[in-house]
Structure 1
Amino acid sequence: MKTQETTAHAGAGRIAAMDPARQAYLLLRTVFTAAPVLFGLDKFTNVLADWTDYLAPVATAVVPVTPQAFMYGVGIVEIIAGIAVAVRPRFGSVLVAVWLLGIIVNLLVLGSFFDVALRDFGLLVAALALNRLAGSTAASGRGR
């Protein structure tokens, strides 16, 4: 009879034996599913940040709503993007990359938070890496 420790060790062994491309795919897919959903939900609560501080005034000039209403829309799109990564990672990863590009442009137009823009550029590259891995046989589990 297997103990919980033996079962857990066997599970860890399967993960360690998994193809590195498959591991990378699963890590990126998990993060790009969870993070957009969590950040999207936070647009409604502002627990992590006051998200309107990151919004360039030109955004509400183009879309004539209050900054908080704009952030509600942002939150909805982020939640949809996270779900898209979970369901269709090849499509969802491109959606997340394009969304991150929009965030980067917004931050550059705002003229501050350049550190966040640089971080988001790294995330954009990671989303594109997820897209490439989602199309590979290693990510689909068919590869070795």
Structure 2
Amino acid sequence: MSATVPRTPESRHVPHRAGADPAHTAFVLLRVGFTVLPIVLGLDKFTNILTTWENYLAPWAVDLLPVSAHTAMLVVGVVEVLAGVLVAIRPRIGAYVVALWLAGIVVNLLSFGYYDIALRDVGLLVGALALGLLAGAHDRPRRAG
């Protein structure tokens, strides 16, 4: 059992030792994950190494698009890369952008029967929201002085 060290206003500016603050560690893990994963998945939209991404675009969505499903997935890839970069540089904003993006993916997947993948993405959405909340507490600009 580990003891919890009370945090005083003065201790907020003391650098954290690895594992000293579980909430900060969770923030870092989520920030890295939601930076790397959207970038990797976004880049894969251009190569289709992991899967054929067009298969996950609902037929009704394809019918509404003025471009092909492949072109749509290329646009999706660019958006995902930009979302990952935004999480890296501004996690308090990027986390909510990723959460909204994931909500759209969930709706798309539910609309044509990919319930298992949609459920997984709901879990990712919850993680993105948690990152946004943690970023509010752990990504504050440091004041000089």
TM-score, with length taken from structure 2: 0.83
Structure 2 counterpart of 1:15:
18
Distance in 1 between residues matched to 2:78 and 2:24, nearest whole Å: 29
* Deviation by residue 1:73-117 (Cα, 9 ceiling, x = unmatched): 10000001000000100100000000000000000112x221100
Higher helix fraction (1 or 2) = 1
Contact 1:22–1:139 (CA<8 Å) still a contact in 2?
A: no
Distance in 2 between residues matched to 1:63 and 1:80, nearest whole Å: 21
Listed as ranges, the gaps of 5+ residues in structure 2 are 1-16
Cα RMSD between the aligned structures?
1.6
Percent pairwise identity: 53
Once the two structures are TM-superposed, the CA of residue 139 in structure 1 deviates from its matched residue by 5.0
Distance in 1 between residues matched to 2:123 and 2:114, nearest whole Å: 15
Matches within 5 A, 1:10-49: 14-16=17-19, 18-49=20-51
Listed as ranges, the gaps of 5+ residues in structure 1 are 1-13
Count how many residue pairs are aligned between Structure 1 and Structure 2.
127
Contact 2:91–2:139 (CA<8 Å) still a contact in 1?
A: no
SS of 2:42's partner is helix
* Deviation by residue 1:51-88 (Cα, 9 ceiling, x = unmatched): 01111012122222111101001000000100000010
Provide runs of 4+ in structure 1 moved above 4 Å. Answer: 138-142
TM-score, with length taken from structure 1: 0.83
SS of 2:36's partner is helix
Contact 1:25–1:134 (CA<8 Å) still a contact in 2?
A: yes
* Deviation by residue 1:3-23 (Cα, 9 ceiling, x = unmatched): xxxxxxxxxxx313x311100
